[in-house]
Amino acid sequence: QESAAILREKRYLYERDHVFPQSIIEYVINLLENENDRDLSQRLAAMSDEERKREMRRIMHRDLHRH
């Protein structure tokens, strides 16, 4: 979530001189926003060891097989 906000704020740095097209920046912002990772550290810390392990595996598996 935080990364998406920063990219949205500073997107001009990547779009100037046509380094990246606007569509790519929007795509990445949407990916980052859909991560739903706000307060992830706190959520993981509140879980039992077993729950945390399962959740971290789920996140890694999802990210490894995204594309």
pLDDT digits (tens, 9 = 90+) for 1-49: 889 999 999 999 999 988 899 999 999 999 888 887 888 889 999 999 9
Q: pTM of this prediction?
A: 0.64
Are 38 and 3 contacting, i.e. CB atoms less than 8 angstroms apart? no
pLDDT at 2: 85
> CA-based angle 63:54:43, to the nearest 5?
85
